[in-house]
Amino acid sequence: MSKRVIFGLNFKVIVTISLVIILTSAILSWFFITSQSIVLKNSIENRAIILANSLSSSSEYGVITSSKEFLAHLTRNTIKEEDVLYSVIYDSNGVPLAVETVANDNIKKDIFSSYVDSIVLINLERNKLRKVTKNIPNVGEVLEIMVPILSYEYIPSVKNAKYDNETIVGAVRIGIALDRINYQIDKMTKSIIVLTFIVIFTGIIISLLLVRFILTPIRELIYGTRKIAAGNLGYRVSINSNDEFRELAKSFNSMASDMEIHIRELNKEKKELINLKVAFEQRSYELEETLEKVQSIQQDLIKSEKFATIGRLASSVAHELRNPLAAIKNISYFLSKMHTFSDPKSNQMVKMLSEEVLRANKIITDLLDYSRTKKLNKLPVDIIPFINKVIPTVPMPENVKLITDLQPFSVVMDPDKMTQVLINLITNAKDAMADKVGQIKVSTRKEEKVFKIIVEDTACGMSEETIKHLFEPLFTTKLKGIGLGLPIVKEIIDAHQGRILVTSTIDVGTVFTVEIPL
């Protein structure tokens, strides 16, 4: 068994405080970094929007008059602003009227590869602004702002129609580099992370000192508790601080004194309780034995009454039925010998009458056997000749094969009663096979203190619930039968001071094992 790891209060408090400090510092740092990053990005974004709107309002006249020199002057002035990488002015058809960029081929390539078509202008007319952040090779991250150039005068030469007294006559596109802002954000992030680690380290050092200061008196109290628990009731805790721990120590010492007095009294009462417990256990043992005897007697009485009722019923029915059955048997025998009926069906009915009389006579015999006291007539018996003599008395259908696996040995038993047991078990196995093709195996085994007779079949098997009731009188799963065969078997085996065991598997088969002491 693995040893359980135990963490002390010192460890738990330090870990808890450290986690609180780490989580708080991390959350505050994340919040500060995020908020400042948003502020910086918003500031440059607002600056880009202001520049774009300023260029848009300044270039309205140049676009309307198609003054490219004027527009080029505006774009050159815009490109001089800090972080501005390019400045482009388009007409209402998306044709560049003035383009000004810093000296970089990738920027020019990006500008002329991204066309401003009618869909872009329509969206721009609707939203008044288009904001895009993209990455240009060898340049870095760029914030691009595009705003429309609006005219509030009716101009017949302009292709686009009026829109709420505004007419879009062109567009302005400005790109601002974000490297400087990203650098500032990275620098700020690193500074905040370093500061966070310093705060965390300082907080953990302070928590260690604080925990040590707080837990020293607690350790003294724990030590005192262990001393008293070990039986040293005279130990007292000594704490010299002028705070709540000193009051706690006084209360602890007072409790220890009271405990010492109470334990002495409890020890006296404990001895008295132990004496009472011994007497009580002795009395309980006697009552349990008495109760078991009463229950056993009660069960025996119920069983005896049940058996007596069955016995009286069996005797009465047997005597009343045997005479008419004998007459019917004689009549069927007479009819079969006289050959009175010539057709096969009538002869079959006479034969069936004789068989049913035999079956009724067997039921009466079972009732009488169950009601009689089982008196044994034990004799020395060789087991192999005994088994071979019994097996032929049970006729087997064609679909069932009976095999044996017999060990030679001699035993002392009642051969007549054991013959009845073996016939009953083989007959039950045969009936269980019904129309199923299979086999019945009869085996014998001799062990140190018992010998076994085993009858196993390959029939359909039985459920656990059926096995529980197998040996109860009048319980049967057969269409024809009164459920006394196996109870009689059990009584005979009980009379031999043996036992019968049953194991069964659904759709596999059943095994009956008879064990008789040697």
Rounded to whole angstroms, the Cα distance separating 459 from 429 reads 8
434-482 pLDDT tens trace: 778 888 999 999 888 888 899 998 888 888 888 887 777 766 666 566 6
215-266 pLDDT, tens digit per residue, is 667 667 776 777 677 767 666 766 666 666 666 767 777 777 777 777 778 8
Give residue 212's pLDDT. 72
Distances (CA, A) of 448 to 404, 452, 516: 22, 11, 11
pLDDT over threshold 70, residue 363 = no
pLDDT on residue 149: 86
- Average pLDDT (10-37) is 83
Residue 452 pairs in a beta bridge with: 445, 515
Measured CA to CA, the distance from residue 424 to residue 470 in angstroms comes to 13
- Angstrom CA distances, 30 to 22, 27, 251, 381, 386, stand at 12, 5, 48, 97, 95
Q: Positive or negative, the Cα torsion across 32, 36, 37, 39?
A: positive
DSSP assignments along 359-424, one per residue: HHHHHHHHHHHHHS------EEEEHHHHHHHHGGGS---TTEEEEEE----EEEE-HHHHHHHHHH
pLDDT of residue 162: 43
Read off the pLDDT band of 163 (50, 70, 90): very low
Predicted local confidence at residue 513, as pLDDT:
92
Q: Are 516 and 498 in contact (CB under 8 A)?
A: yes
Q: Which pair of structure tokens corresponds to residue 369?
A: 């056997």
Distance CA 518, CA 504 (A): 27
List pLDDT tens digits, range 415-426: 888 888 888 888
- pLDDT of amino acid 158: 47
What is the C-alpha separation between 493 and 417, in angstroms, rounded?
A: 9
Position 4 confidence tier, pLDDT thresholds 50, 70, 90 = low
Of 99-108, 110-119, 132-141, least confident by mean pLDDT is: 110-119
Average pLDDT (50-58) is 88
Mean pLDDT of the 171-184 span: 88
Q: What is the pLDDT of residues 306-349, one digit of tens each?
A: 666 766 666 666 666 666 766 776 776 666 666 666 677 766 67
pLDDT at 11: 72
Residue 130 CB contacts under 8 Å (≥ 6 apart), including other chains: 120, 123, 124, 144, 145, 146, 147
CB-based contacts of 259: which residues, under 8 Å, 6+ apart? 228, 233
Least trusted range by pLDDT, from 85-94, 111-120, 132-141, 422-431: 111-120
CA distance readout (Å), 419 to 249, 266, 442, 485 = 88, 71, 13, 13
Gap between the Cα atoms of 199 and 193, Å rounded = 10
Kindly give, in sequence order, each residue whose CB lies less than 8 Å from that of residue 74, ignoring residues fewer than 6 positions away: 55, 58, 59, 62, 87, 89, 98
What is the reported pLDDT for 164?
47
Share of the chain above pLDDT 70, in %: 73
8 A C-beta contact, residue 323 and residue 351:
no
Q: pLDDT at position 512, please?
A: 92
Residue 163 burial (C-beta neighbours within 10 Å; 0-12, 13-18, 19+) = exposed
Is pLDDT of 101 > 70? yes
Least confident residue range of 283-297, 450-464, 493-507: 283-297
The neighbouring-strand residues paired with 151 are 167
Stretch 9-37: mean pLDDT: 82
- Report the percentage of the chain scoring pLDDT > 90: 3
Look at 24 and 222; give whichever has higher pLDDT: 24
Q: Which residue, chain included where needed, has tokens 């088969």?
A: 509
Compute CA 320 distance to the chain's CA centroid, rounded to the nearest angstrom.
Answer: 65
Radius of gyration of the chain (CA): 54
Amino acid, res. 290: T
Average pLDDT over residues 201-226: 74
165 pLDDT above the threshold of 70: no
What tokens appear for 517 in the block?
A: 């002491």
Identify the H or E element spanning 134. strand 130-136
DSSP annotation of 89 reads E
pLDDT band, residue 1 (cuts 50/70/90): very low
Predicted local distance difference test score (pLDDT) of residue 310: 65
Distances (CA, A) of 339 to 288, 330, 332: 72, 14, 11
Looking at every residue in the chain, the average pLDDT score rounds to 79
DSSP code at position 119: H
User: Which pLDDT belongs to residue 161?
Assistant: 43
- Which residue would you say has higher pLDDT here, 16 or 361? 16
CB 132 within 8 A of CB 110: no
pLDDT of residue 454: 92
Element housing 499 (H / E): strand 499-505
Between CA 318 and CA 326, with CA 322 as vertex, the angle to 5 degrees is: 165
CA distance 99 to 78: 11
Residues 394-413 pLDDT 10s: 888 888 888 888 888 888 88
Give me the pLDDT at residue 373, please: 53
CA distance 326 to 354: 10
Angstrom distance (rounded) from CA 493 to CA 487: 10
Question: pLDDT band at 154, cuts 50/70/90?
Answer: very low
CA distance 7 to 54: 67
Q: Output 338 or 88, whichever has higher pLDDT.
A: 88
Task: Work out the pLDDT band at 428, boundaries 50, 70, 90.
Answer: confident
Residue whose C-alpha is closest to residue 366's, from 425, 426, 424: 424
